[in-house]
Structure 1
């Protein structure tokens, strides 16, 4: 609560404010104590408090780049590296919101509620991740995606759509290999080694998806005993 600017009231102070509210005759009052600098520092001042604690203009570095740099970095990574990077980002923001000194100590498999989040810190995390990734998350994100791991998976799918499509992700990996090979064309020795390796890979792929050859059944019949043959004939007659 204190990180958002709300300051706890003592019983005595609360009763004083209650008495003052009763004497004021105003139909609606909010009795609270605020640390206005802390409110402004959150960067998300509620409209009702904007006159009391206007949000200072953020510098470009603080405002973020809408996730442009993150997208560019992820585009150069493998699928596993992308997952680890986004998970690390979420873990770091979670630690920052909770004022935790060690992000690596955040258990990404535990729910946000288990590690200490409430509705206020959920909004703060949503805002921080939005500034970093450029993805607009709902205020209920930590309930829709209840662990840092599931939230990171959702973010990765939104930032890199092909990450949510296994086929597209694999084709993207092949595109990266093709781009890498194009830079090696001038090395004759390397080109021969690559050609041999690719021929082996293509042959392996063909074997994995080769349909059953017609002569397979014929070979089975040739190696069958008389008992096997009579068994096959009996099956055919029973089936008819």
Structure 2
């Protein structure tokens, strides 16, 4: 509905439905701008120029799409994206990640972190700092609180934590959180 920002509307939908929802918005608006009675005749792959768009209709579509979605869109958005499908993909991306997908954001961050660990020097203060922060994050993730005294708690667990390598920590993360699908 007009007036409700697109990211909020998308949050109500399953991930698989979001792309189709935005495509429906775009094709409905294309049909309206071109004064077609039925939006089902608008193919997502048909170029805007073949549909009959010119600079005026392009700007009109952009204005209506901005009102409908609540997004700020460039004046050339219709000409920067060759067809309704490409425009819908752009709008979906511009709406940003859905607010109900924090686990995906965490997994993506872990993937980036894992890839960047190779750039760390094998020894040194930086590696020790990263290890300490990762251990803190693991404790936070598991809901445990760090022991005030390393000697307190289960000595076997304390030894495991103290001796864990970065590889073992990432293996733990992968098995406990699951690796993001590629």
1:168 aligns with 2:105: yes
**Residues 41-98 of structure 1, C-alpha deviations (whole Å, 9 max, x = no match):** xxxxxxxxxxxxxxxxxxxx9xx42x42x43221021222010000000000000000
Matching residue of 2:33: 97
Asked if 1 retains the 8 angstrom alpha-carbon contact of 2:11 and 2:98, the reply is no
Change (3 A) 1:170 1:109: farther
TM-score for both structures, normalised by structure 2: 0.53
Asked if 1 retains the 8 angstrom alpha-carbon contact of 2:77 and 2:87, the reply is yes
Q: Which has the larger radius of gyration?
A: 1
Greater RCO (Cα-Cα under 8 Å, separation 6 or more): 2
Work out the CA distance in 1 between the residues paired with 2:34 and 2:82.
Answer: 16
1:116 aligns with 2:47: no
Q: Which runs of 5+ in 2 are unaligned?
A: 109-173
What secondary structure, in the 3-state scheme, does the structure 2 residue paired with 1:161 have?
A: coil
1:81 aligns with 2:17: yes
Work out the CA distance in 1 between the residues paired with 2:84 and 2:94.
Answer: 15
Change (3 A) 1:137 1:170: same
Work out the CA distance in 2 between the residues paired with 1:170 and 1:98.
Answer: 43
Work out the CA distance in 2 between the residues paired with 1:169 and 1:144.
Answer: 32
Measured after TM superposition, the shift of residue 162 of structure 1 is 5.0
> C-alpha root-mean-square deviation of aligned residues, in Å?
3.0
Work out the CA distance in 1 between the residues paired with 2:107 and 2:81.
Answer: 26
TM-score for both structures, normalised by structure 1: 0.41
Measured after TM superposition, the shift of residue 161 of structure 1 is 2.9
Change (3 A) 1:72 1:170: farther
Change (3 A) 1:169 1:149: farther
Matching residue of 1:30: none
Q: Which runs of 5+ in 1 are unaligned?
A: 1-60, 172-204, 210-240
